[in-house]
Structure 1
Amino acid sequence: MSSGPAGHVVRSTVRPNCETGTSAPLRTFLPTADGVSVDFVYEPGAAVYDAGQSSARHPVFVVAHGFTGDVDRPHVRRVASVLARHGAVALFSFRGHGRSGGHSTVGDREVLDLAAAVDRARSLGHARVVAVGFSMGGSVVLRHAALYPGAVDAVVSVSAPARWYYRGTAPMRRLHWMVTRPEGRLVGRYGFRTRIHRRDWDPVPLSPAEAVARIAPTPLLIVHGDRDGYFPLDHPRMLAEAAAGHGELWLEHGMGHAEHAAGEDLLNRIGDWAVARAG
């Protein structure tokens, strides 16, 4: 349930710092192009505060969480706290998740949510925007970069699928049950604070592998763990192959799936990579 009606932006109390040019932290709601209200959180980040310089000199990391996540989940906040050492951070809850309005379409119209968050992050004065997505969010940042050329300055996709309708692992079979069955959607709503759309995709959206082929020349990083219980290694390898030599692939030894498995060292390396590539 959203705390603000669809299409309405809750007024924030953000005030620019006249000495540093940065903005104070804010939490507000953003309208998407199709009228859904998404919960949005912005933190200037330690790098901006410590440098005492304009936010335009530092990237902003727009974090796209995985399915059933939201801006108040501890694992999402932990990711944000590490990335904040490298720049500002913008978080948002995908539609149907947490306090955002609407219903989850499991990676389809979520591209509009990311687009709204990226536009707002850019409007806060950041010249460089880096989209960092995990699992479902990882597929969304790939599709967003393909559908909105030049909207971001670098893309990081962690633990993303390469193709739709994958049911080759037990966790993915459970996820499909949650998405496709009425009783599963009840579990999603009351057990995971995630409201799931009941209709099938029509048309089927551009797949992550198809999207990767369209991202160049935007810098691209694909990250995947060799112990990912949801998507085995053929997924990141398919994405890397579709990229046709553009971007980088990091296969992380011992890493599981998405935000929960992304350790501090990996997140710091992602932050360093993004700062170096998004210049």
Structure 2
Amino acid sequence: MRVIGVVAAGLAGLVLVLVALATLVTALFARAVVIPPRKRSEDTEVHVVDLAAGTVVLGASADACLPGDYSFWFTGDSGHARLGEIVTSTPDTVTRRILAVDFGDFVSARRGRFGGWFYLGPWELELPFENVTIDSPVGPAPAWWVPAGVADERWVIQVHGRAVRRQECLRAVPVFHAAGYHSLLVSYRNDGEAPESDDGRYGLGDTEWLDVEAGIRFALDRGARHIVLMGWSMGGAIVMQLVARSELRDVVRGIVLDSPAVDWVDILDFQGAGYGLPSLMRQAVIRTIGEPWGRVATGLAEPIDFARLDVVANAAALQRPILLMHSDDDGYVPADGSRALAEARPDIVTFEEFTVARHTKLWNYDPERWNGAIASWLELLAGRGAR
């Protein structure tokens, strides 16, 4: 009996340890979702940089194998290069063309990461622009304004995604400029440029839309009357909350979404599964973020209302035309939510579905198709009386 008691006590202790470990992992994952990252992981090895030949040999990561032109950050983001076409490849390596080395010692680099945003600033677009400041609810937020070539009342407000900055949106400026739109590229709370909120946490769109609303007020003060909103990744969630909740939503004439976060429950479940978390722990992560008691772990000022963020569940309330672009192999934000939104509202959603482009890299993979989709949709929008 004594042996049985010892075994039972040991098993009880093991269960307590496992429960404590699961609780810790759940809390850490929940915190990682809402805390802005200070460092980005470098998932691509750099084997050989041959500046004379203009090539680099990389490890065959998922991004390294993707055709197109990309930013490549290396050595803890201390260096930046731009990489182009794939020259050769093996099962383990990919050789790509070097388009430019903007700064840093590329030859000595050992690891790096691909980025979808290709331009470092609006000055590279060779268009006039202004550094402007938006009076957001959390304080002065920097933005770029790229005026249209002619006087017009049409504006597009660009909203970048999670863990990146305004530069992500620069790829869209030329196609909107060609269509006669002023472009406003905004920052928002906790993105590393705009002021932080009191809790310093992402709201996954539940709070950031207020800062984009301030961008609309800025545009209206400068003569805007018809506004298109474009959101990338989490920027898509921000945009959709704005059109659902803002008192200024009636000035929005259309929405463009690139790889948008449409259903956060589905996204977090997908990402948790990718890290090997069992289903119960993935559900616990969502509850931790979404319940008042979870604020002890997350540091959120208020829990995040996932039901309110579910665009598909609230699709019946949508009123504006939407151009939705997403890739089946996104790898970060599954395209299931976008597909479900397109199926729920075929009357207003134009779904441009990519097969191979990964997350927010659709322009990089096929700029002709991406630009063409936006240009054609803008023509249709004008035909609906959006001018």
Per the TM superposition, whether the score is higher than 0.5 is yes
Q: How many residues align?
A: 223
Question: Match for 1:55 among 145, 152, 168?
Answer: 152
SS in 2 for 1:276: helix
The 5-angstrom pairing of residues 1-279 of structure 1 reads: 25-32=129-136, 34-44=137-147, 48-49=148-149, 53-56=150-153, 59-71=154-166, 73=167, 75-86=168-179, 87-102=181-196, 103=200, 104-148=202-246, 149-165=249-265, 166-170=267-271, 198-199=299-300, 201-202=302-303, 204=305, 206-207=308-309, 208-216=311-319, 218-243=320-345, 245-258=347-360, 260-263=361-364, 264-265=367-368, 266-277=370-381, 278-279=386-387
Deviations 1:164-205 (CA, angstroms, capped at 9, x unpaired): 23334448867x9xxx8xxxxxxxxxxxxxxxx831743515
8 Å Cα contact 2:227-2:253 kept in structure 1: yes
TM-score (norm 2): 0.52
Give the match's secondary structure for 1:37.
strand
Partner of 1:55: helix, strand, or coil? coil
**Once the two structures are superposed, what CA deviation does each residue of 1:209-245 show, in whole Å capped at 9, x if it has no partner?**
24433221x2122211122111223211222234363
TM-aligned CA deviation for residue 40 of structure 1: 1.6
CA contact (8 A) 2:244 2:318 kept: yes
Change beyond 3 A, Cα 1:245–1:82: closer
Q: C-alpha distance in 2, partners of 1:147/1:242? A: 20
* Structure number with higher relative contact order (C-alpha < 8 Å, ≥ 6 residues apart): 1
Q: Find the aligned partners of 2:142 and 2:165 in 1 and give their Cα distance.
A: 9
Q: CA shift at 1:261, angstroms?
A: 3.1
What RMSD over aligned residues (CA atoms) do the two structures have, in Å? Answer: 2.7
CA distance in structure 2 between the partners assigned to 1:171 and 1:78 by the alignment: 30
Q: Determine what percentage of the aligned residue pairs are the same residue.
A: 22
Unpaired runs of 5+ in structure 1?
Answer: 1-23, 181-196
Q: Which runs of 5+ in 2 are unaligned?
A: 1-127, 278-284, 286-297
Question: Which structure has the larger Rg over C-alpha atoms?
Answer: 2
Greater CA drift, 226-235 or 61-70: 226-235
Q: TM-score, normalised on structure 1?
A: 0.70
Instruction: Judging by fraction of residues, say which structure has more strand.
Output: 2
